[in-house]
Amino acid sequence: MNRILKNRYEVLGILGKGGMGCVYKVADRRQGGKRLAAKELQAGNLAEEKLQEALAQFRTEARILLRLTHQNLPKVYDYFSMGDRHYIIMEYIRGRTLEDLLDARQGKPVDEQLALSWALQICRAMHFLSVQKPRPIVFRDLKPSNIMISHDGKVKLIDFGIARFFKEEKREDTYVYGTPGYAAPEQYGSGQTDVRSDIFSLGATLHHCLTGRNPSENPLEFPDPRTLNPKLSKETAMILKKALAPEMNKRYQGALEMKQAVQKVMLEAGMQAKGGRKMIFARAGKVIRLPWWRKTSWVSVPVMALGCSGTTGTLSSDDRWIRPKAGTFGPEAARLLFRVETRKLRFGREYRPEITIQTDAGILRPRLIFKKTWPWILIEAAVAAALIGVAAIMR
């Protein structure tokens, strides 16, 4: 018979194991067998001082997450103790840690746009933590093993064991926490951590993703990322440089500032489609004008205009002249791309394709209006030539 925790949670298997406990996959019998994760702390073999420290961290994680709800943080449902074992019951995330993904790549850099999409979601979570009342929350151990990426591309920050509430009156942290290679310089005892410390850790994590170089091998040393990955854009390299500045006041001063920088780079990167074609950026409620001289046009549409922001879904259309590229998207997507066969459309006519979006929030059918512009330059040139010809005859 399987173990039952608190006469409620049936243990189905082990998701992960560490020196002081396990993470189990459990079924909640009171919620029809809903799958959840149970994080266990086994404190039996610890010395008293270490026991109290471990319990404090464990309770801090439970206390923080029980009161927070955000799409990029795991939801905590319960917290309890059974003898010398302590449990947090939280959302079960189907996916892998970023550490596992990077290990599998064996030093091969992650696609730039994909890594930036992860950074965008992490910035959202960090900003959410930084505006908590009465005090902001500093994560303090942002690294690949504490970042979970679900199968649908959603990022979750996990393991809030050493997170802390920021206190402005404190000059230094009582303890030195963080992981060498990802921890900011001030986490080695030189000052108090705040959101800029988490920004440094995100920069170190991004550097690892985009170069394939593990920073834990040489902490606080970050070579120019473009020397390790020549395909990396200058703009993204500048984001890494600023996030990894040794001095706190030279980094991004808030998660929102870094998020805006990442969004700008992602947007500008879309200006060139495959084959060097220019991107057409659509605006909500405006007719999308397609150049008459192109056989194929690439159109980028904001997810906000389609009504599917923050969701996971698929796109399709029965119209043969328009195709979504790609046909699926995740909650990190800011814009969606469409390939339009301009040569199949008539000049000046408006087209309203039947687009179907299936998301985890339901089925949507947004209305987009496309119009192939008239070749006014050629028409005007022809008219001018005709007028010149008439004038010449009349002489």
Q: Is 329 helix (H, G, I), strand (E, B) or coil?
A: strand
Within 10 Å of residue 316's Cβ, how many Cβ atoms?
A: 12
When mean pLDDT is compared across 47-51, 128-132, 182-186, 256-260, the lowest value belongs to 47-51
pLDDT of 363-386, one tens digit each? 888 889 999 998 876 666 666 666
Among the listed residues 40, 36, 8, 10, the one whose alpha carbon sits nearest the alpha carbon of residue 23: 40
Beta-ladder partners of 226 = none
CB distance 105 to 144 below 8 Å:
no
pLDDT for res 107: 93
Q: How many whole angstroms separate alpha carbon 41 and alpha carbon 28?
A: 19
Q: Is the pLDDT of residue 270 over 90?
A: no
Long-range Cβ contacts of 362-367 (<8 Å, 24+ apart): 364/306, 364/307, 364/308, 366/305, 366/306, 366/307
Task: Respond yes or no: is residue 141 known to be catalytic.
Answer: yes
What's the mean pLDDT in 57-68? 79
Among the listed residues 166, 384, 343, 159, the one whose alpha carbon sits nearest the alpha carbon of residue 255: 166
Domain 4-91 = CATH 3.30.230.70: no
Q: Is the pLDDT of residue 173 over 60?
A: no
pLDDT for res 52: 77
pLDDT for res 237: 97
More confident residue, 70 or 203: 203
Q: Is the pLDDT of residue 276 over 70?
A: no
Domain 274-372 CATH class label: mainly beta
Q: How many whole angstroms separate alpha carbon 256 and alpha carbon 267?
A: 16
Catalytic position from the list 78, 84, 100, 141: 141
pLDDT for res 190: 60
Long-range Cβ contacts of 105-111 (<8 Å, 24+ apart): 105/212, 107/212, 107/213, 108/212, 109/209, 109/210, 109/211, 109/212, 109/228, 109/229, 109/231, 109/232, 110/209, 110/210
Q: Is the pLDDT of residue 219 over 50?
A: yes
pLDDT for res 273: 45
pLDDT for res 379: 65
pLDDT for res 382: 64
Choose which CATH entry (3.30.70.1290, 3.40.50.261, 1.10.510.10, 1.10.760.10) describes domain 96-269.
1.10.510.10
pLDDT for res 68: 84
pLDDT of 288-341, one tens digit each? 999 988 899 999 888 877 877 767 888 999 999 999 988 888 776 777 889 999
pLDDT for res 45: 63
Helix (H) or strand (E) holding 75: none
Using CB atoms within 10 A of its CB, is residue 231 exposed (0-12), middle (13-18) or buried (19+)?
Answer: exposed
What's the mean pLDDT in 101-126? 91
When mean pLDDT is compared across 53-62, 71-80, 260-269, the lowest value belongs to 53-62
pLDDT for res 362: 80
Q: At what angle do helices 234-243 and 255-269 cross, to 10 degrees?
A: 170
What's the mean pLDDT in 203-223? 96
Token pair recorded at residue 328: 């699926």
Q: Mean pLDDT across the chain, nearest whole number?
A: 84
pLDDT of 28-52, one tens digit each? 999 999 999 998 887 666 667 767 7
Q: How many whole angstroms separate alpha carbon 119 and alpha carbon 206?
A: 7
* Boundaries of every domain in the chain: 4-91, 96-269, 274-372
pLDDT for res 306: 82
Angle at 331 between CA 297 and CA 105, to 5 degrees: 90
Q: At what angle do helices 112-130 and 195-211 cross, to 10 degrees?
A: 170
- Return the percent helix, strand and coil in the chain, to nearest 5: 35, 25, 40
pLDDT for res 69: 87
Give me the helices (H) in the chain, please.
48-66, 98-105, 112-130, 195-211, 225-228, 234-243, 255-269, 303-306, 376-394
* DSSP 8-state secondary structure symbol assigned to residue 365: -
Q: Is the pLDDT of residue 171 over 60?
A: no
pLDDT for res 204: 97
pLDDT band at 164 (very low <50, low <70, confident <90, very high): very low
CB distance 115 to 209 below 8 Å:
yes
- The sign of the CA dihedral 154, 140, 145, 239 is positive
Same fold, 96-269 and 274-372: no
